[in-house]
Amino acid sequence: MYEDLKYWYLRDHKLFRTLSYSQIKQLCIITGFKKASKGEIIYFSTSDIPRIFLLKKGNIKIVAIDDDGNETIKDIIQKGDLFGELTLESDNKNEEYAKVLSDDVAICSFLMSDFEDLLLKNPTLALSYTKFVGLKMKRIKNSYANLISKDAKTRLYQFLKDWAEQEGIWSGNLVTIENYLTQNDIAQIICTSRQTATQLLNEMESKNLLNYNRKEIIITDITKI
């Protein structure tokens, strides 16, 4: 990996726009730059030195396994997102892994300690990062608030709305979303069973609210969702 290319990979992220070339180069001692393709599983080996990851391309999901062996989707990471121990607090006991959803992904990573040093030397970045983490928290709070005490249908609608807002291609009230999730994934995200999700999606399709297939979801009229 050429230093310059690494530089651009980071520079590209809005969080790092305030940094100078030399500052980014500092981070770029980055060991990690990784490519992976659909279905691959990436472990954040707990023994390893704590890192922060930046997804440059594609989509992945973070999955946790509880004591009973149940899979729970903890997060969907999209292009441009930072992930990993954003808390800057390493956690030893997490049984988490990432699974690649899109055709292929590119991930860069850097050491948490390097990042911390950089934050200390660069107050503006520190503030941006603080806001970034805060925003992420707000998102989580909101999405959970929606999950709970609403029924499955409402949750699905809300999820689709969010998804459309984040990634949809809009033309008027018609929104097209690239669909890299299976119905099972969607079910897990909105915390319902696969069957219920399937049923609701079909119901929506028969009401002409949307058009579902494995490649894309076309929402006929976003205002009706």
The interface with DNA within residues 156-215 (CB under 7 A) comprises 182-184, 191-196, 198-199, 201-202, 212, 214-215
Phi, psi of 182, deg, nearest 5: -90, 165
Please count the helices (runs of H) and the strands (runs of E) in the chain.
Answer: 7, 12
Phi, psi of 63, deg, nearest 5: -120, 135
How many residues contact DNA, by CB under 7 A?
19
Q: By CB under 7 A, tell whether 95 contacts DNA.
A: no
Instruction: Summarize as ranges the residues that interact with its own copies (CB under 8 A).
Output: 64, 70, 72, 74, 86-89, 91, 116, 119-124, 126-127, 129-131, 133-138, 140-141, 144-145, 147-149, 191
8 Å CB contact between 177 and 216: yes
* Min CB(218)–its own copies separation in Å: 27
Q: How many CA atoms lie within 13 A of 180 on its CB side?
A: 22
* Min CB(169)–its own copies separation in Å: 26
Q: By CB under 7 A, tell whether 40 contacts DNA.
A: no
Q: By CB under 7 A, tell whether 152 contacts DNA.
A: yes
4-to-27, 113, 119 alpha-carbon distances in Å: 12, 22, 21
Please report, as ranges, the residues that interact with DNA according to CB under 7 A.
Answer: 151-153, 182-184, 191-196, 198-199, 201-202, 212, 214-215
